[in-house]
């Protein structure tokens, strides 16, 4: 199994989190999209972008499908609920993250984004962050008693907030969000999932 990963990409980070959570043996090849991409990329992904997972004769290049494939291919520990109704609810949360959160992150992480557009996107992101504070009071993880794929998405997003200029207020009303971040970032799998480039983001956080 080979995983073609972006060094700082949030989509790649989600996949690396799943690989670490399940202790999957995989060769991870890191690339900087601003530098050089793998020569074989056009042949394995018609959209010519990362991330891409190659598992023998299977090649997958859509992040969500990669995550679900890994969860089914390596069922322990499960990162999607077993019961259909709970699984559907989890997938709907992922759908909302993909529709509401990720387009903002994608645009803000684009080195070509203008300052005006960045500031506008930042306000939208702050609104989304504020909106989940009450939700996080209900369960230990994101609307779940167990760590799921939803938390893999949120881990990659929330880790990048300071880099994007979004600070979680050190107030009582935001304590649930700060506790949630601490819970995610203290997992051994999270530390294992980070590339050297992502570890360097910590310096940007201060």
CATH topology of domain 84-205: Glutathione S-transferase Yfyf (Class Pi); Chain A, domain 2 (1.20.1050)
Domain boundaries, the chain: 2-73, 84-205
pLDDT in tens, 105-124: 999 999 899 999 999 999 99
Neighbours of 116 (CB within 10 A): 8
What integer pLDDT is reported at residue 194 of this predicted model? 96
What fold characterizes domain 2-73? Glutaredoxin (3.40.30)
- pLDDT at residue 202 in the model: 63
Dihedral sign, CA of 63, 67, 68, 74? positive
pLDDT at res. 203: 47
Report the alpha-carbon distance of residue 149 to residue 128 in Å, rounded.
Answer: 19
At residue 206, the pLDDT reads 39
Q: Cβ(24)–Cβ(74) under 8 Å? A: yes
Residue of 85, 77, 99, 89 lying closest to 20 (CA atoms): 77
- Identify the segments of the chain with pLDDT beneath 70: 202-206
């Amino acid at each position: 199994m080979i995983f073609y990963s972006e060094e700082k990409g949030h989509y790649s980070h989600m996949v690396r989190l799943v690989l670490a959570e399940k202790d999957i043996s995989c060769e991870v090849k890191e690339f900087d999209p601003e530098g050089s991409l793998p020569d074989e990329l056009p042949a394995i992904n018609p959209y010519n972008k990362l991330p891409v997972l190659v598992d023998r004769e299977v090649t997958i290049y859509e992040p969500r499908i990669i995550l679900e494939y890994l969860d089914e291919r390596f069922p322990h520990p499960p990162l999607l609920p077993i019961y259909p109704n709970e699984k559907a609810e989890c997938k709907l949360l992922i759908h909302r993250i993909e529709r509401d959160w990720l387009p903002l992150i994608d645009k803000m992480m684009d080195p070509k984004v203008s300052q005006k557009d960045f500031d506008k996107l930042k306000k939208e992101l702050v609104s989304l962050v504020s909106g989940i504070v009450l939700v996080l009071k209900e369960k230990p993880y994101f609307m779940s008693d167990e760590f799921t794929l939803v938390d893999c998405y949120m881990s990659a997003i929330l880790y990048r907030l300071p880099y994007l200029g979004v600070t979680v207020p050190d107030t009582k009303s935001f304590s649930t969000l700060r506790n949630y971040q601490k819970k995610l970032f203290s997992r051994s799998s999270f530390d294992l999932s980070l590339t050297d480039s992502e570890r360097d983001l910590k310096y940007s956080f201060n």
